[in-house]
Amino acid sequence: MSALADNISFTFKTSFRSARQGTEELSPPSGFSFTPEGNLVVSDDFKHRIQIFSPDGELIRCFGSQGNRPGEFHYPKGTAVDGAGNIYVADSWNHRIQKFDAQGTPLLAFGTCGENPGELNEPYDIHVEPSGRILVVERYNHRIQFFAPDGKSLGYLGSRGMVLEERLAAMFDTPARILPPPLFEFPTSIARDSRGNYFISDSSNHRILKFDGGWKRLLSIGERGSEPGKFQYCMWVAVGPNDLVYAADLNNDRIQVFSSEGHFVASIGESRGGESLKSPSLVAVGPDGALYTGLTFDTTVSIFIPPSEPQKDLARQRAQGDPDDYFYQDWCARLACLAGDFSSAVKSWAAAVARLHPAKEDSDPGFAAGLLVRLSRCTAQMKSGPEQEALLLKGLEMIDGHLIQARQNLMDAQAVWDKAVPEVTQFVIEQQNRILSDQDDPRVFNKDLFQAEDRERELFRECRRLAFVYRQRADDFADFFSNALRSGLTEPALAALLRLLARRTNELCQLMIGYLEAKEKNEEAMVRLFGEMQDDGKKWATFLPKLHFSRRILGLLIHLQFELHTHIRNFQEVAVHDPQNPLLEEILRDLFIEPPGAHMGTKILMGLQEDWLAHKWIDIHHKNIVDLWAHEWNPPAPAVATGLTADFFSAVPYDFERMELDDLAQGVLLPCLPLKDTPEGLVAANRIFPWTLAENGSDLARRLGEIIASEAQYDEKEDELFAHLKELSLQEQNFHIQLRQVNVTDKKTPITLQNSIFIVGFQISLLRRMILALELNETLNLSRLVIGTALLVESPEGKDSEPSRMHLQKMRDFRDGIANKVTDLFAARKSASFREGELNLERESLNLRNEVGDIQRAEKNREDLFECQFEISRLEIVLDRFSRIRNLLNQILSFVDAGPPSLNFKGSIQKGGALTGQFLQPVGMAFAPSGDLLVTDMEHHRVFRFSGSGDYKGYFGIWGDHPGGFKNPVDVGVDRKGFIYVAEALNPRIQKFSPQGEYLLTMGARENPEFRPGILFSLSIDPGGHIWTADPVHN
């Protein structure tokens, strides 16, 4: 009997251990492994024992019985055998691992029930590495735990989570410490291929996850479904000698076969005589390459003979059998690329690209985009010639089409959702009014409301799904662009890349501005309605849909901002790759420096004022680009500002509303661009201010002094707004608490509380906007102060004059006062952060104890934590404000003092490739002997590698306390031989890696407690190769 998939067959060989073939009572097998002699080790699940069979199916021995003493089992599952023939058993319901010699004599047991390091919760499978390290798959702890040969825990990897949670975490940049990746939902088995990659069956997420030897995630195979390549509970995974991957697809009654890169190859659904493989739960590949399978409700072990040819031959057969299917061309290409045969890989990918459909017609756009990215990575390694360059440009056009289509799909779905929400809101309000007026009959089913709410939920979920896809395509586009850039493109090809990137960036900014303008008009109407609601409660039915509309726009803008972020990073990559590229200079000037392009960033910043995080990152992006442009090129002289009088330098009041875009853009650009003297006047940002503005030095100095004095009014207003914001935020939190405490039979109170939450939330968003709008006016004030000071001091009439000298002293006093405030704010921020940590620890302790007497303490902890977190939020805004003021004052004082800067800006480097969309959080840096720069990214728990010129080269490390994992890496060092050492803050240890980033050993984690370090912040390597680190905890 054969299971056929085109020209690839899996032949049934034999079966044994059938309950029908003997008198011995058996149970279904629950674990397979093989001894060095080729014997099969079987876990006899319900009989609580281990059986060993010869390759012919003859029982050699068995050991074990039900119990919890050494050598006894309670539902044994996966097994493993080490090089010495010792047998390891996952004793699942005893929550331990037992080790036996080849005869079944107990040697070691470790683990007890729990979730702490060294504890286990239903261990389901085991893998023993050649080094003796033991990897345990914990089904109910949803993780992989690592153990030394003596059974001591080395840490663990992963946490519980579904695919949806994983996607939401990626979309909203959820920190790893909150949702530690990778996410598993009842993982059940582990396998390893010939390249050292690991495969984990993530059963309830209906997929297989593939990791490299350092546990960097490489691939996810499958999703829920019954089509080929999909799963209904993938219970077990195994890898054959040719690295084909076998998966037991439980509820689809089949064994599925995949390439090592995730391509579906075949499925096996029948055994002897056409009998169905009903609920397969086990697969294993023997030393001879035979495939062993086990079923959930049958004691039989079936053996199949799979194809023994290398994967490259199988892939070629499939590609030749179906030449129009780009799926198998991609399989050929990926295998060739892994083998280092880049030329053959590109040929196969060229054949695949020729068969790809346009984005609108592609039934699997995710696979097509991934194929294009893989092509670009290959060409980056081999450096492209004319043929490869033409292929890259075609690929660029296609992946750009996928990005545009994904964005349009999301916006179309958002528009449909926008139309549906007012209807459901109206039904909800009508229902609430009936409840509040005691006219609701609970026996009457509100079909209209039910259907409207159900439809609205469907639209919400669809928008969420499309948002994830859109962000994937934005990341794919950035990855393709980054790889193409490193492929050695000719000047015309690079120009084509740049022009496309410029079009997409401009198009995206215009889209964002359009949404923000619609939101602004909507909120102007909301403010009017908010005032009218005091006298007319019916206005609520008009107000609430508008509130939801604004919130949906902000949600959409988060995703559009992600794409903008990737485009800006790609511009920065071009600058590193090709400094002083004239086309790049022209594009950046048009998009970000000169009007009308300079207005786009300003409009976006103004529209995002209530979203402080988004506003902050857009501001950083904008300034980074302007810094880059100012450093790399000598910009031409801008136009002379006309129509200005001395009134231009009058103080701007904090409630000033007649702001001009040119003035706002001037304030944004000023900190990034150098001030310059010219015969015509002072060059500041994108304008020239004539010296004639400083003809009356005394009057100008007076006006500038009034600007300095007006800063006190900004301070007072900011304090007032924050006090009001705190009051409303506390009120909002209390409403949420009351809502959670309402009796389930009370139908009225939740309505009143939820509506109050909506109203207070709207007021909070207005206050947040007012706080940042205050900073806009202050920016106008400060930019005029800087320009006026430069004109006063540098003008022919003002040099060494009395007004000039007196004003400079005021400026220095002002700067010193601001600098002192910054120092105090930093100290306060640090203190508040430590306090937050203490309160979080107290909260965790109270939650664990869950004692009645702790209720008051828990309430006090909640109040204190709110106060602390609000204060941290306030301090961050205020610290950012005063730091900006200090920097501007330093800029002007350095200019007028005419001293050369002690340091010159040379440029910046960023991540590239598939991680372009993530922000780098650098903390520690070190140079390797090769000239590469290593950077610890504390937020993403990785070490990134850049070339000496700033080209991104890759990373190693992921979140975790397992060997090779990181929790907040803070510093990195490199010794003379190139070995890498990394210190972590949350894991008090130092890990050693090879020059290529492969884990070697750990220092500090397993010493006696008195010798273990506390929190680490730094490390240093002396000439003798000794590692030094400061241990402030132990002084």
Asked if residue 1022 belongs to a domain, the reply is: yes
Residues 889 and 981 in one domain: no
Statement: residue 4 has pLDDT above 50: no
Q: Does pTM surpass 0.85? A: yes
Asked if residue 367 belongs to a domain, the reply is: no
- Write out the residue range of the structural domain in which residue 34 sits: 2-308
Is-contact 633 746, C-beta < 8 A? no
Asked if residue 987 belongs to a domain, the reply is: yes
| Single-letter amino acid, residue 811 | M
Q: Nearest-CA neighbor of 682 among 666, 671, 693, 672?
A: 693
Q: What is the DSSP letter of 384?
A: -
Q: Provide the pLDDT for residue 905.
A: 60
Q: Provide the pLDDT for residue 492.
A: 95
| Total domains present in the chain | 3
In the sheet that 969-974 helps form, which strands lie side by side, from edge to edge?
A: 969-974, 980-984, 990-993, 999-1003
Residues 762 and 800 in one domain: yes
Give the domain-ending residue among 282, 308, 334. 308
> What's the rounded mean pLDDT across residues 949-970?
90
Statement: residue 704 has pLDDT above 70: yes
Condensed to tens digits (0 to 9), the pLDDT of residues 32-73 reads 999 999 999 999 999 999 999 999 999 999 999 999 999 999
Residues 820 and 969 in one domain: no
> What's the rounded mean pLDDT across residues 152-175?
93
Residues 80 and 153 in one domain: yes
Residues 886 and 1015 in one domain: no
| Calpha distance 478→501 (Å, rounded) | 10
Asked if residue 772 belongs to a domain, the reply is: yes
Condensed to tens digits (0 to 9), the pLDDT of residues 652-670 reads 888 887 778 888 888 888 8
Hey, what long-range contacts does 743-747 have (CB within 8 A, 24 or more apart)? 747/435, 747/440
Q: Provide the pLDDT for residue 3.
A: 38
Give the domain-ending residue among 308, 332, 355. 308
> What's the rounded mean pLDDT across residues 12-37?
88
**What is the CA angle 721-858-967, rounded to 5?**
80
Residues 821 and 948 in one domain: no
| Calpha distance 73→445 (Å, rounded) | 54
pLDDT band, very low/low/confident/very high, at 21 (cuts 50, 70, 90): low
Q: What CATH number does residue 186 fall under?
A: 2.120.10.30
Asked if residue 775 belongs to a domain, the reply is: yes
Residues 893 and 942 in one domain: no
Asked if residue 809 belongs to a domain, the reply is: yes
The pairing of strands 687-690 and 681-684 is: antiparallel
Q: Provide the pLDDT for residue 787.
A: 93
Q: Provide the pLDDT for residue 883.
A: 94
- What Å distances lie between residue 417 and 460, 545, 850, CA to CA? 7, 12, 42
Residues 20 and 144 in one domain: yes
Query: What sign has the CA pseudo-torsion 559, 560, 566, 572?
Result: negative
CA-CA-CA-CA dihedral for 852, 857, 859, 865, to nearest 10: -140
Is-contact 237 199, C-beta < 8 A? yes
Residues 74 and 167 in one domain: yes
Condensed to tens digits (0 to 9), the pLDDT of residues 206-261 reads 999 999 999 999 999 999 999 999 999 999 999 999 999 999 999 999 999 999 99
Condensed to tens digits (0 to 9), the pLDDT of residues 736-745 reads 999 999 998 9
Asked if residue 574 belongs to a domain, the reply is: no
Statement: residue 23 has pLDDT above 60: no
Residues 867 and 1014 in one domain: no
Residues 774 and 864 in one domain: yes
Count of CB atoms situated within 10 Å of the CB of 382? 17
Strands (E), 222-269: 234-239, 245-249, 254-258, 264-268
Is-contact 194 243, C-beta < 8 A? yes
| Calpha distance 532→546 (Å, rounded) | 15
Q: Provide the pLDDT for residue 579.
A: 84
Give the domain-ending residue among 275, 308, 341. 308
Q: Provide the pLDDT for residue 66.
A: 97
Q: Nearest-CA neighbor of 566 among 481, 469, 466?
A: 481
Asked if residue 505 belongs to a domain, the reply is: no
> What's the rounded mean pLDDT across residues 173-196?
94
Close Cβ partners of 161 (under 8 Å, ≥ 6 residues apart) = 142, 169, 179, 183, 184, 185
Residues 677 and 791 in one domain: yes
